[in-house]
Amino acid sequence: MSEGVNEADRPEVLAGEGTDLFSKFDPVITMRRDLLDSGVTDPFNLVMEKVLSPTRAICNGRDTILLGTYNYMGMTFDPDVVAAGTQALAEFGSGTTGSRVLNGTYQGHRECEDALREFYGMDHAMVFSTGYQANLGIISTMAGKGDYIVLDIDSHASIWDGCALGNAEVVPFKHNDIEAMEKRLRRIPEGAGKLVVLEGVYSMLGDIAPLKEMIAVAKKYGAMVLVDEAHSMGFIGPNGRGVAEDQGVLDQVDFVIGTFSKSVGTVGGFCVSNHPKFEILRLVCRPYVFTASLPPSVVATAATSIRKLMHGADKRARLWRNSRTLHAGLLEQGFRLGTSETQSAIVAVIMPDLERGATMWEALLREGLYVNLARPPATPANMTLLRCSLCAEHSEDEVETILGMFQRAGKAVGII
Amino acid sequence: MGQMGYRMTLVEAKQGTATLDMTGARRFAPPHQASERHAMDRAAIDSRIRTLIEPFNKKAVTITDATTFAGDLEFDSLTVMDFVAEIEDEFDVIISMNQQAEIENYGQLVTAVGTLAGDDA
Ligand SMILES: Cc1ncc(COP(=O)(O)O)c(C=O)c1O
């Protein structure tokens, strides 16, 4: 912690022990202030003053290229999507003011679920208010007392929180380690229910899971399988259904979880499944029942976007081209990346430490580039990462510009 | 940003309020009460765990039954995962996070492993 001039400004709360219920956050407060005291712009308090397109916004008065928004397919300004939302807003109003199981299911919610069933080629689809709630709801409801959840240690917060909300035994295994997963499944007592929870793409490093092997093992031990495909929809797999489809095992997956907040370009979450009893979840899944449904405009934009993603071959090709160009370019410049080859549309640049990570983040912002700063404890192995997510709408020129920005900033900060 | 708590916070470890597990598992339900009838010999389990913990005991802390993982040994979440995996493999047991949440110190771990391993025997 730095000393001197800042001392007087420090709030009293850090002084005493057990002052009040906020005291447990003192270490986070200190960590955050130490970072800001070093003079960097607060990386977690950025405001987009204007959004010009899926790839550009005005931040701090500067025209900024967006490279950390998960807006993979660039659907947020698609004219058909915007028109569908505008029309629904005018015809159905600004919100449903109700739960899906009471007054909150409009025609648009049904149409959105129809679009999902078609997109995934599955019998059932359930739309939640966010992807976070979809994981929360399905995991906590499916795995009950006495059941076992076997999950990857690098799982997303919403998966962990789904475990915490339920009453099942929670058993994590080392990231993408098939053998570690099998050992745990083998040791589960006979007769206990089992749910294996995996992700297609892991969003911190942008690496994909060996789903084919892992799902085969899960099935060998009689487990049900849930795969979160948040970061693959629309551009991985022959029909854009995700990593499980790409590896030919989608028919073995009991629950696919997804979100509208990335490729689809709006907000919302979902679960699709072929299980014959799936529909009962609408009555027993608390994060589905006890919250208001998505506004009509949102489900209208989602349904339109999902249907367009079924025919998004061009966008898909551009997204992969951009991802490969950026990945190869950054490697060549000497940056350390999360994966040695392009596995997804996420390129994670590994920073030596939080301080230089934050400095690099700020240097990029000054250059006119927004990336996602991820820092411990949110990251695997307590790494500091600059996570870049590509968009189909980034032009080839923009990707070259981005590479130039990385090179200048990286040299200035002394990382390359 | 929502990433806080994607994993667990070291904050909990530093404060010494965390149990063996630091992923928020304290909110999980308590573990099953397993039978202690066939409990393995405690001294034998203790010595096997003592060997396993050595590479994780970076500061060479003297380990007693009261030694805490988060506080005294300063285990972070990754260390906890690796250490638990070693014990699980050695004794061929599962120590779920729910069970980990009840284990704060070394003595409790030895007891828990004795119970779990004894159950199978
Ligand atoms: C893997 C994963 N699952 C679930 C979610 C939650 O999605 P949503 O933003 O719809 O809540 C996210 C994104 O934040 C994610 O990365």
Asked if the model's pLDDT at residue B16 lies above 60, the reply is: no
Q: Are residues B40 and B2 in the same domain?
A: no
- Cβ A258 under 6 angstroms from ligand 1: no
Asked if the model's pLDDT at residue B35 lies above 60, the reply is: no
Across the interface, whether the CB atoms of A174 and B81 are under 8 A apart is answered: yes
Report the C-alpha gap between A233 and A116 in whole angstroms: 11
Across the interface, whether the CB atoms of A161 and B5 are under 8 A apart is answered: yes
Cβ of A38: how many Cβ atoms within 10 Å?
Answer: 12
- Cβ A199 under 6 angstroms from ligand 1: yes
Task: Give ∠ CA A206-B27-A21 in degrees, rounded to 5.
Answer: 100
Q: Are residues B40 and B25 in the same domain?
A: no
Query: Residue A16: its pLDDT value, please?
Result: 56
Closest atom of ligand 1 to CA, residue A132: 11
Q: Which residue of B has its CA nearest to A377?
A: B9
Task: Output the six-digit token pair for B102.
Answer: 């009840």
Report residue A376's pLDDT band, with 50, 70 and 90 as the boundaries: confident
Q: What is the CATH number of domain A77-309?
A: 3.40.640.10
Query: Residue B32: its pLDDT value, please?
Result: 45
Report residue A407's pLDDT band, with 50, 70 and 90 as the boundaries: very high
For range A112-117, the mean pLDDT: 98
Report residue B40's pLDDT band, with 50, 70 and 90 as the boundaries: low
Q: Are residues B25 and B53 in the same domain?
A: no
Q: Compute the nearest-CA separation of A184 from chain B (Å).
A: 7
Asked if the model's pLDDT at residue B6 lies above 70, the reply is: no
Q: How would you label A94-127 residue by residue, b for 16+ Cβ within 10 Å and e otherwise?
A: eebeebbeeebbbebbebbbebbeebbebebbbb
Number of H-type helices and E-type strands within chain A? 14, 17
Query: What is each CA distance from A217 to A51, A184, A224, A401, in whole angstroms?
Result: 46, 11, 11, 45
Instruction: Give contacts of B112 with chain A, Cβ < 8 Å.
Output: none
Query: Residue A43: its pLDDT value, please?
Result: 77
* H helix intervals, chain B: 10-15, 42-53, 77-91, 97-100, 106-120
Asked if the model's pLDDT at residue B93 lies above 50, the reply is: yes
- Centre of ligand 1 to C-alpha A260, Å, is 9
Hey, is B106 helix, strand or coil?
Answer: helix
* pLDDT digit string, tens, across residues A169-201: 999 999 999 999 999 999 999 999 999 999 999
Domain at B84, CATH number:
1.10.1200.10
Report the share of chain B in percent with pLDDT over 70.
64
- Cβ A389 under 6 angstroms from ligand 1: no
- Whether B108 is covered by a domain: the verdict is yes
Q: Compute the nearest-CA separation of A173 from chain B (Å).
A: 8
Across the interface, whether the CB atoms of B11 and A27 are under 8 A apart is answered: yes
Q: Are residues B27 and B42 in the same domain?
A: no
Number of domains into which chain B is organized: 2
For chain B, which residues lie within 8 Å of any Cβ of chain A, measuring from their own Cβ? 1-11, 14-15, 17, 23-25, 27-29, 31, 76-78, 81-82, 85, 88-89, 92-94, 96-99
- Whether B98 is covered by a domain: the verdict is yes
CA A337 to chain centroid: 19
Are the C-beta atoms of residues A292 and A104 closer than 8 Å to each other? yes
* pLDDT digit string, tens, across residues A18-56: 689 999 999 889 988 988 888 877 878 889 999 999 999
The pLDDT mean for chain B works out to: 74
Report the C-alpha gap between A199 and A226 in whole angstroms: 8
For range B82-94, the mean pLDDT: 96
* pLDDT digit string, tens, across residues A62-99: 999 999 999 999 999 999 999 999 999 999 999 999 99
Q: Which residues pair with A169 in a beta bridge?
A: A148
Query: What is each CA distance from B115 to A147, A273, B42, in whole angstroms?
Result: 20, 39, 10
Contacts of A89 (CB under 8 A, 6+ apart): A295, A296, A297
Contacts of A271 (CB under 8 A, 6+ apart): A125, A126, A128, A134, A137, A138, A255, A256, A257, A258, A281
What residues make up the domain containing B95?
Answer: 35-116
Across the interface, whether the CB atoms of B97 and A172 are under 8 A apart is answered: yes
Among the listed residues A225, A228, A68, the one whose alpha carbon sits nearest the alpha carbon of residue A133: A228
Nearest CB among B9, B29, B92 relative to A187 is that of B92
Across the interface, whether the CB atoms of B5 and A374 are under 8 A apart is answered: no
For range A293-318, the mean pLDDT: 98
* pLDDT digit string, tens, across residues A151-165: 999 999 999 999 999
Instruction: Give contacts of A173 with chain B, Cβ < 8 Å.
Output: 85
Q: Are residues B13 and B56 in the same domain?
A: no
Peptide bond into A352 cis (omega under 30): no
Query: Residue A15: its pLDDT value, please?
Result: 57
Query: What is each CA distance from A251 to A210, A275, A373, B107, in whole angstroms?
Result: 16, 11, 36, 47
Residue that wins the pLDDT comparison between A252 and A381? A252
Are the C-beta atoms of residues A218 and A204 closer than 8 Å to each other? no
Q: In angstroms, how far is the first alpha carbon of chain A from the final one?
A: 27
- Centre of ligand 1 to C-alpha A158, Å, is 7
Across the interface, whether the CB atoms of A24 and B17 are under 8 A apart is answered: yes
Instruction: Give contacts of B5 with chain A, Cβ < 8 Å.
Output: 157, 160-161, 377-378
**Into which CATH architecture does domain A38-73+313-413 fall?**
Alpha-Beta Complex (3.90)
Query: Residue A192: its pLDDT value, please?
Result: 97
Are the C-beta atoms of residues A128 and A310 closer than 8 Å to each other? no
Q: How would you label B74-86 residue by residue, b for 16+ Cβ within 10 Å and e otherwise?
A: bbbbbbbbebbbb
- Whole-model pTM over 0.95: no
Are the C-beta atoms of residues A137 and A181 closer than 8 Å to each other? no
Q: Compute the nearest-CA separation of B43 from chain A (Å).
A: 24
Task: Output the six-digit token pair for A279.
Answer: 């529909």
Q: Are residues B45 and B95 in the same domain?
A: yes
- Whether B64 is covered by a domain: the verdict is yes
Query: Residue B26: its pLDDT value, please?
Result: 34
Q: Which residue of B has its CA nearest to A46?
A: B1
Among the listed residues A202, A379, A341, A295, the one whose alpha carbon sits nearest the alpha carbon of residue B3: A379
Q: Are residues B8 and B50 in the same domain?
A: no
- Whether B121 is covered by a domain: the verdict is no
- Cβ A154 under 6 angstroms from ligand 1: no
Side-chain half-sphere exposure of A387, counting CA atoms within 13 A: 24
Asked if the model's pLDDT at residue A4 lies above 70, the reply is: no
Across the interface, whether the CB atoms of B9 and A157 are under 8 A apart is answered: no
Are the C-beta atoms of residues A169 and A147 closer than 8 Å to each other? yes
- ipTM confidence score: 0.83
Across the interface, whether the CB atoms of B3 and A132 are under 8 A apart is answered: no
Q: Are residues B26 and B55 in the same domain?
A: no
The pLDDT mean for chain A works out to: 94
For range B55-63, the mean pLDDT: 94
Query: Residue A14: its pLDDT value, please?
Result: 58
- Centre of ligand 1 to C-alpha A193, Å, is 26
- Centre of ligand 1 to C-alpha B81, Å, is 24
What's the burial of A336, exposed, middle or buried (CB within 10 Å: 0-12/13-18/19+)? middle
Instruction: Give contacts of A157 with chain B, Cβ < 8 Å.
Output: 2-6
Across the interface, whether the CB atoms of A160 and B23 are under 8 A apart is answered: yes
DSSP state of A237: S
Task: Output the six-digit token pair for A344.
Answer: 């997804």
Task: Output the six-digit token pair for A14.
Answer: 């850090």
Task: Give ∠ CA A336-A342-A348 in degrees, rounded to 5.
Answer: 40
Asked if the model's pLDDT at residue A373 lies above 60, the reply is: yes
Domain range summary for chain A, segments of one domain joined by +: 38-73+313-413, 77-309
For range B23-48, the mean pLDDT: 59
Query: Residue A57: its pLDDT value, please?
Result: 98
For range B99-103, the mean pLDDT: 94
* pLDDT digit string, tens, across residues A216-232: 999 999 999 999 999 99
What's the burial of A128, exposed, middle or buried (CB within 10 Å: 0-12/13-18/19+)? buried
Asked if the model's pLDDT at residue B17 lies above 80, the reply is: no
Listing DSSP states for A31-64 in one string gives HHHHHHHTT---TT---EEEEEETTEEEETTEEE
Q: Are residues B43 and B82 in the same domain?
A: yes
Q: Which residues pair with A228 in a beta bridge?
A: A199, A257
Report residue A384's pLDDT band, with 50, 70 and 90 as the boundaries: very high
Instruction: Give contacts of A163 with chain B, Cβ < 8 Å.
Output: 28, 97
Query: Residue B78: its pLDDT value, please?
Result: 84
- Whether B80 is covered by a domain: the verdict is yes
Q: Are residues B5 and B51 in the same domain?
A: no
Side-chain half-sphere exposure of A59, counting CA atoms within 13 A: 22
